Amino acid sequence: MSDQKIPLEAPPSYDDAAQPLVQPATTTQAPPRPGPRLPLPLDLPALNIIRGKRVILASASPRRRQLLAQIGLNDLEIIPSTLPEDRDKSLAPFEYVLQTAEAKCRHIYTTEIDSPKGEPTIVIAADTVVSTHMGQILEKPRSEKEHVAMLKMLRDQNNGWHKVYTAVVCMAPLETLMDPGYAMETHVEETAVKFDQNVTDELIVSYVRTREGADKAGGYGIQGVGSILVEKIDGTFDNVVGLPLRATLMLIEKCVVDPAMPDEVQEAL
C-alpha cells in the first residue's frame, strides 16, 4: 500500500530474537570510535561580533540553516516570515527574488526589533526561484501532476539549461542615530543548471514520488537524490541549494561593521 510506513531498521532475525535483550553485565564492549574532528569556527571579526547574540534566520529551510552552520552560525533563532509570496510573476526573476527576500527580512526585523528578548543583532532572509530560459518563474510544485510536468519541461527546454536565482538580505540595527536606524545589504546570485536530457520519464516520475523535491523551488534538490537529474552547473552549488554562502558572509560583514567606520579600517577587518 502507498501509505505503508517503512521501518527505520530491519526487524531482528529469529536468531537475534532468541538472544537476551540485555547482555550480561560482564560483557565487555569496545569503546566507541571517535568521530571525525570538526573544523574550528572561522575566526572573523564580523562572525565573532554576532556569535552568542540574536541571529535570526527568517526562513524555515533546514538547508539554509545547515549552510550557515558551516561558517559557525549554529545558535540561530528560526523565525520564518508569514508574509504571502505573492509578487507579480511578470517581474524578472532577479527582481522577484529580491523583492520577496526584502519583504521577508523587513517583516521579521520590524516584528522583533522591540521584542522582550532584545533587538536582533542581525536578521538574514533569502528567497530562491528556478527560472526557465524564457524567464518563467517556477516555485514549489503544487501537485504530483504539476511536479512531473515541471521537471519534464526543465529537461526538454533549451537543451536542459535553466537558471536558479537566490536573493539574500541582511538587516542589522545601527548603534548610531543615523537615519533609518538600520543597515540593510542585499545580493542576488544566479547559477545555470543543465538537466541530463537522457533522463527518462520513468526516472522523473520515480523521483517525484520520493517527495524530496515537493517543497523546493523548481521541484528538485540538487544536494540530494535530485542530483541524478543534473548533468552540470555553471556557478555556485550552494546557490542552487538555497543560500550562496560566500555572498551571505560578505553581507554579514557589511551589516555588522559600523558604516561610519573609515574604509581603510573596514578593509583591515
CB atoms near residue 190 (< 10 Å): 17
Instruction: Give the integer Cα–Cα distance in Å for 1 and 157.
Output: 35
At 133-192, the pLDDT tens digits run: 899 999 889 999 999 999 999 999 999 999 999 999 999 998 765 656 889 999 999 999
Higher pLDDT, 223 or 36: 223
Query: How far from the centroid of its chain's Cα atoms is residue 185's Cα?
Result: 18
Average pLDDT over residues 200-225: 95
Where do we find the cell 537475534?
16
What does the chain come to in residues?
269
Q: In a 3-state reduction of DSSP, which class is residue 246?
A: helix
Domains with residue ranges and CATH for the chain: 43-139+162-194+234-268 (3.90.950.10)
Residue 61 reports pLDDT greater than 60: yes
Residue 207 reports pLDDT greater than 70: yes
Confirm if 100 and 35 have CB atoms less than 8 A apart: no
Question: Residues 43, 127, 179, 258: which is the catalytic one?
Answer: 127
Confirm if 247 and 190 have CB atoms less than 8 A apart: no
Structure pTM? 0.80
Average pLDDT over residues 199-216: 96
When pLDDT is cut at 50, 70 and 90, the band that residue 26 belongs to is: low
238 is catalytic: no
Where do we find the cell 526538454?
156
Least trusted range by pLDDT, from 34-38, 118-122, 186-190: 34-38
Instruction: Give the integer Cα–Cα distance in Å for 147 and 154.
Output: 11
Q: Is 33 exposed, middle or buried (0-12, 13-18, 19+ CB in 10 A)?
A: exposed
What is the model's pLDDT at position 89? 81
Average pLDDT over residues 220-231: 96
Confirm if 72 and 41 have CB atoms less than 8 A apart: yes
